[in-house]
Structure 1
Amino acid sequence: MGGHARRLPFPGSEYVLTHSDVWSLQRLPRQIVVVGGAATGCQLASCFAAFGAHVRVLEVAPRILTVEDEAVSHGVARAFQRHGITVITNIGGVQRIEQQEGALRLFYLFEGEVRQLTTEAVVMAVGWTGNVEALNLAAANVQSERGYIVVDDFLQTSAPHIFAAGDITGRMMLVQSAMMEGALAAGNAILGSKRASGHGIVPHGGFTDPEYGSVGLTEERARATHDCAVVVVPYAVLDRALVDGHREGFCKLIASKETHRILGAHILGEQALEILQLVATCMAADMAVEQLGEMELAYPTFTAIVAIAARRLSRELGIIPLAPQGLIPGR
């Protein structure tokens, strides 16, 4: 494995679990505090809550899932609230953990005050660092920075004959990216292919309840860098969502007004990541949003929401004209 869960140094940190330790738990704790509201922390919180534990999530940022589109972040937070998961954001950090009478007391800073939570278990999900400690990189003249091996775009290290890929480089901490980098690094090292690792279009997400998936730019980033149009289609318009009882969620599509190319997609709901793969493929193929809207996707499926969103976005862009009011039947 190219990396491991980061541990923070503070008094009582020896009582902390990481997601790797969760596999060895002999029983389900009734109360759990998850420190860290990024992808791993939110997935752990969702899993523990599904098993019946009382879960609280602590996060230093103003919202959980800060790298995701705000709509996804707020949607997951609302779902957590409905599932009984307490989310506490804007904390000033964990101060210490004490063990008292078989329980753990976690002390944290909030608005300048020290507050505490009593729990059976504390799980840290505060980052992922490379497994460089035991490699003796200096002996091979391989440079590292902040716990990761430094590589160029061709995944070559400071030692010309050594290449590195995956989590240990700290570039893109995703399984699918590590697999792609491994193939590229092998080709560059053995065949001299000189293929660059770009990570341009990488669908990703989390298996929370409901799950979420994202690819491309968030709405905030897209509006800051492009003249764009945005549509959001709720799951409630899907017959499949109604039949299966999964009406919670949405599909957000973002497209350039100039080129009609999709800049980003963000989906929250049942099978979100499976649906997202279609959008990512269309982006990689450089399809215009109107081409996606013309696809006759199978019915009834969750994926059909992508074509619905694309058609609405095409109307927003003026590609599909709206009929004048006087020509609409019944008006």
Structure 2
Amino acid sequence: MADTYDLVILGSGPGGYVAAIRASQLGLKVAIVERERLGGICLNWGCIPTKALLRTSEIYHYMQNAESYGLKADNVGFDLAKVVDRSRKVAGQLNAGVKGLMKKNKVTVVEGVGTVTAKGKLSVKQGDKTVELEAKNIIVATGARARDLPFAKADGKTIWTYRHAMVPTEMPTKLLVIGSGAIGVEFASFYNDMGADVTIVEMLPRILPVEDEEVSAFMNKALTKQGIKLLTGTGLEGLAPSGGGVTAKIKHKDGKVVEETFSHAIVAIGIVPNTENIGLEALGVETDRGHIKTDGYGRTNVDGIWAIGDVTGAPWLAHKASHEGIIAVEKIAGGSPHQMDKANIPGCTYSRPQVASVGMTEAKAKEAGYELKVGKFPFIGNGKAIALGEAEGFVKTVFDAKTGELLGAHMVGAEVTELIQGYVVARQLETTEAELMETVFAHPTLSEMMHESVLGAYGRSIHY
């Protein structure tokens, strides 16, 4: 006899577990199926433990530069095992927190490998045992995994994915990072600050290619100044373990292929959605290059089957998955939520310096035919940034010259991942430059640069 629910969610990442909580709040009887650990990749192997590592490297950087703050820190070093252990404990604490939230919200947790066997039916394999579940609605939130190079699969020894890079048993001496998206740049930043000799290879003409061109250019200079070697417009022809390390065949812009040996390589070339072998094909659920096709509410083409998070395509971000989960559940419960607006999803890179953005880049806005007003304010003009010793970076805002609509905002510098939400709220409220100009920003704060950037777009900047 199958256990019956109003909703069953396959996957407990930031999309799945948030959807489960909201469903419970709305009075639905909910079960969540998880094959590994509650919290999914983000909490256990992605967003959170990576930030713990980056916090360590940030503090290590400050310790090495203590003298610039009038402090003394001699014989600075680190214990790699303890660095990793701290990161894993942070992940473990949050995993326990999600377990507590499931219990508090009366969500049934079913451990095992789930498969959708028919409309409204799931089969969960638990070793030799199988549990049958039934529900009017099923949400697929199975996430994604790291994409391997076709000619060199990660072995966990010298060729790593992000999962291996988070739990190193040895410190790389010479590291190759393949791909310069957020994941690649974050790991390059971490390992460089911890003392590795780092090279990034990027096929496209610039690093962080989804960001505004000025941000990419600034990051190129900043990372190069830190000692990271950046090879853009450069391909990888081969990668193979060699003599305790790894040998890469790197094809440079001029077409010349050069072999170079590294101690380790991190493959950060994107993700593959976890949509295979969960029963979607038999039901006829439509996909596009493996990603499940949905409408603005998370509905698939098959009645009663919904999908959220990384399985539905870009942007592959935890907060996007969570918001999709809320929308889907509220629709299932008979509400009238707004459809997902991906243009208002912020993107953040937690490197040193940090990068954050929302909305259209200047180039995309021009491409779309807008007449623009663009403001830009440097960190060097901000008193708090100077006091922090973090005077490198800028805030950039892009407005529709005709309506005053904030089309996009782009930041690079200290703590910008915390600042970006101000512009996200502004876009969600459909705020124009007028309201932003009339807003009072506390002094001294980094947020004052947000105000100054808006003023600058209209020729009214005070401090620059």
TM-score normalised by length of structure 1: 0.90
Q: How many angstroms apart in 2 are the aligned matches of 1:5 and 1:163?
A: 23
Residue 17 of structure 1, aligned match among 142, 154, 160? 160
Q: How many angstroms apart in 2 are the aligned matches of 1:240 and 1:192?
A: 45
Q: How many angstroms apart in 2 are the aligned matches of 1:72 and 1:28?
A: 30
Aligned to 2:183, what secondary structure does the other structure show?
Answer: helix
User: Shift of residue 195 of structure 1?
Assistant: 4.6
User: Shift of residue 11 of structure 1?
Assistant: 4.9
Structure 2: which amino acid aligns with 1:217? Answer: M
What's the CA shift string for 1:167-211, capped at 9, x where partnerless? Answer: 011143111110000111122234364752222311212011100
Give the alignment's Cα RMSD to 1 decimal: 1.8
Query: How many positions carry a matched residue from both structures?
Result: 316
Q: How many angstroms apart in 2 are the aligned matches of 1:13 and 1:261?
A: 45
1:281 alignment counterpart: 425
1:268 alignment counterpart: 412
Does the CA contact (< 8 Å) of 2:373 and 2:399 recur in 1? Answer: yes
Aligned to 1:315, what secondary structure does the other structure show?
Answer: coil
What's the CA shift string for 1:86-134, capped at 9, x where partnerless? Answer: 000111x322223332221111222322212211111111011211123
1:311 alignment counterpart: 455
Q: Relative to 1, partners in 2 of residues 1:174 and 1:98: Cα closer, same or farther, differing over 3 Å? A: closer
What's the CA shift string for 1:123-173, capped at 9, x where partnerless? Answer: 111011211123121233322231211212221112111100000111431
User: Shift of residue 26 of structure 1?
Assistant: 0.9
Does the CA contact (< 8 Å) of 1:132 and 1:147 recur in 2? Answer: yes
Confirm or deny that 1:29 pairs with 2:188.
no
1:41 alignment counterpart: 184
Structure 1: which amino acid aligns with 2:453? Answer: A
Q: How many angstroms apart in 2 are the aligned matches of 1:198 and 1:311?
A: 27
Does the CA contact (< 8 Å) of 1:213 and 1:267 recur in 2? Answer: yes
Confirm or deny that 1:74 pairs with 2:74.
no
Q: How many angstroms apart in 2 are the aligned matches of 1:11 and 1:247?
A: 41
What's the CA shift string for 1:65-106, capped at 9, x where partnerless? Answer: 111101110111111111110000111x32222333222111
Confirm or deny that 1:8 pairs with 2:152.
no
Does the CA contact (< 8 Å) of 2:411 and 2:420 recur in 1? Answer: yes
What's the CA shift string for 1:15-42, capped at 9, x where partnerless? Answer: 5211112123112111110000111111
Confirm or deny that 1:294 pairs with 2:433.
no
Q: How many angstroms apart in 2 are the aligned matches of 1:172 and 1:193?
A: 24
User: Shift of residue 221 of structure 1?
Assistant: 1.5
Structure 2: which amino acid aligns with 1:202? Answer: I
Q: How many angstroms apart in 2 are the aligned matches of 1:11 and 1:179?
A: 33
Confirm or deny that 1:228 pairs with 2:372.
yes
Structure 2: which amino acid aligns with 1:96? Answer: G
Q: How many angstroms apart in 2 are the aligned matches of 1:144 and 1:288?
A: 38
TM-score normalised by length of structure 2: 0.65
2:361 alignment counterpart: 218
Superposed, 1:103-114 pairs within 5 Å as 103-110=245-252, 111-114=254-257
Does the CA contact (< 8 Å) of 2:178 and 2:268 recur in 1? Answer: yes
Confirm or deny that 1:99 pairs with 2:241.
yes
Structure 1: which amino acid aligns with 2:251? Answer: L
Residue 268 of structure 2, aligned match among 125, 135, 141? 125
1:245 alignment counterpart: 389
User: Shift of residue 264 of structure 1?
Assistant: 1.1
Q: Which runs of 5+ in 2 are unaligned?
A: 1-39, 41-142
Q: How many angstroms apart in 1 are the aligned matches of 2:438 and 2:204?
A: 40
Residue 203 of structure 2, aligned match among 56, 60, 73? 60
Structure 1: which amino acid aligns with 2:441? Answer: L
Q: How many angstroms apart in 2 are the aligned matches of 1:232 and 1:169?
A: 34
Q: Relative to 1, partners in 2 of residues 1:180 and 1:10: Cα closer, same or farther, differing over 3 Å? A: same
Confirm or deny that 1:181 pairs with 2:181.
no
Worse-superposed segment, 192-201 or 82-91 = 192-201
1:328 alignment counterpart: none
Aligned to 2:285, what secondary structure does the other structure show?
Answer: coil
User: Shift of residue 254 of structure 1?
Assistant: 1.2
Does the CA contact (< 8 Å) of 1:234 and 1:250 recur in 2? Answer: yes
Tell me the percent identity: 29
Q: How many angstroms apart in 1 are the aligned matches of 2:422 and 2:183?
A: 24
Q: How many angstroms apart in 1 are the aligned matches of 2:308 and 2:201?
A: 32
2:315 alignment counterpart: 172
Does the CA contact (< 8 Å) of 2:356 and 2:410 recur in 1? Answer: yes
Q: How many angstroms apart in 1 are the aligned matches of 2:267 and 2:153?
A: 13
What's the CA shift string for 1:280-322, capped at 9, x where partnerless? Answer: 2112212221321222211100001111122222336xxx9xx
2:194 alignment counterpart: 51
Aligned to 2:236, what secondary structure does the other structure show?
Answer: strand
Q: How many angstroms apart in 2 are the aligned matches of 1:77 and 1:163?
A: 40
Q: How many angstroms apart in 1 are the aligned matches of 2:346 and 2:337?
A: 24
